[in-house]
């Protein structure tokens, strides 16, 4: 699948940013611009998100293949990979399949574990099934403004911040009607695959995924990466380092963008 992307900067080496669930490349524009002085930065829309094509398939084998195809089309043999949430798992899966094509790997607020039991995995995680259901139940033919959509979502989703994030996926078509950019049906039917973790035992038995530096960034107010996850991370990525960014929940790039860029620069020694 040929992914939509945005590009910033001309300096080498290439750095590819992969967004998370419900996200899109435009969520990462400010981060990309801040890094464009030292990298050729590409920010992709993953399948079923943003301006990329839709598909009924939405799992990590598919998404890592999309990323490989993207890099091939851009002539990128090796890149720094930065992934947030679902995007973090995409770049981890890519690294498992093609470690020779990874210059460095940075995972933002996601571990390689299964997140199927979100209630235990994170105190900040919302119920994704309920969120998607709420989005799908909105009768867009009766929506005349984003405020209307926000009021409709508020019936099921109390957090204004979460509603605002989800509504970034709402677009107005040339006809004036509203439509979702995100493929809600495909995401809903593939939630189990999205929450799936990596095969810790099998990867550890092979000596783990090595050959490049690895950083796991946690939001200080997020519960997506816990202390109990660190051993699993090291079993899969033996050289992995970890850092926590204070004052950030799961959406680190939106809540502490300057600290995130500073952390990435420090890790990559630039």
Same domain, residue pair 14 and 138 = no
Q: What is the CATH number of the domain that holds 226?
A: 3.40.50.1820
Q: What is the pLDDT of residue 124?
A: 43
Question: pTM score, two decimals?
Answer: 0.94
Same domain? For 178 and 238 the reply is no
- Is 132 found in the same domain as 108? no
The answer on 135 and 259 residing in a single domain is no
Q: What residue has token string 């300096």?
A: 11
Last residue of a domain, which of 166, 191, 216? 191
Number of domains composing the chain: 2
Looking at the structure, tell me whether residues 106 and 239 fall in a common domain: yes
Same domain, residue pair 112 and 131: no
What pLDDT, on a 0 to 100 scale, did the predictor assign at position 118?
59
Burial 47-82 (b: 16+ CB within 10 A, else e): bbbbebeeeeebebebbbbbbeebbeebebeebbbb
The pLDDT tens digits for 193-213 are: 999 999 999 999 999 999 999
What digits encode the pLDDT tens for the residues 232-258? Answer: 999 999 999 999 999 999 999 999 999
Last residue in a domain, options 173, 191, 209: 191
Residue 171 contacts by C-beta under 8 Å, 6 or more apart in sequence?
178, 179, 180, 181
What range does the domain containing 179 cover?
126-191
Catalytic residues: 85, 250
- Arithmetic mean of pLDDT, 202-225: 96
- Tell me: do 30 and 101 sit in the same domain: yes
Domain end: 191, 213, 243, which one? 191
């Amino acid at each position: 699948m040929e992914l939509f992307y945005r590009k910033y900067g001309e300096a080498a080496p290439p750095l590819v940013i992969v967004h998370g669930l419900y996200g899109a490349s435009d969520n990462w524009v400010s981060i990309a611009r801040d890094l464009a002085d030292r990298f050729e930065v590409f920010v992709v829309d993953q399948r079923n998100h943003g301006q990329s094509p839709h598909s009924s398939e939405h799992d990590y084998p598919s998404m890592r293949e999309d990323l490989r195809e993207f890099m091939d089309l851009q002539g990128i043999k090796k890149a720094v990979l930065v992934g947030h949430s679902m995007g973090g798992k995409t770049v981890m899966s890519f690294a498992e399949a093609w470690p020779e094509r990874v210059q460095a790997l940075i995972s933002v607020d996601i571990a390689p574990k299964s997140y199927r039991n979100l209630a235990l995995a994170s105190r900040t995680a919302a119920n994704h099934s309920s969120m998607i259901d709420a989005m799908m139940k909105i009768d867009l033919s009766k929506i005349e403004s984003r405020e209307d959509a926000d009021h409709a979502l508020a019936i099921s989703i109390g957090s204004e911040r979460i509603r605002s994030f989800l509504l970034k996926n709402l677009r107005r078509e040339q006809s004036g009607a509203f439509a979702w950019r995100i493929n809600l049906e495909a995401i809903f039917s593939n939630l189990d695959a999205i929450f799936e973790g990596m095969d810790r035992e099998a990867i550890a038995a092979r000596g783990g995924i090595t050959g490049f530096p690895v950083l796991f960034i946690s939001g200080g107010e997020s519960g997506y990466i816990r202390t109990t996850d660190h051993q699993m991370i090291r079993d899969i990525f033996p050289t992995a380092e970890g850092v926590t960014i204070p004052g950030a929940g799961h959406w680190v790039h939106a809540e502490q963008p300057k600290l995130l860029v500073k952390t990435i620069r420090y890790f990559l020694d630039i």
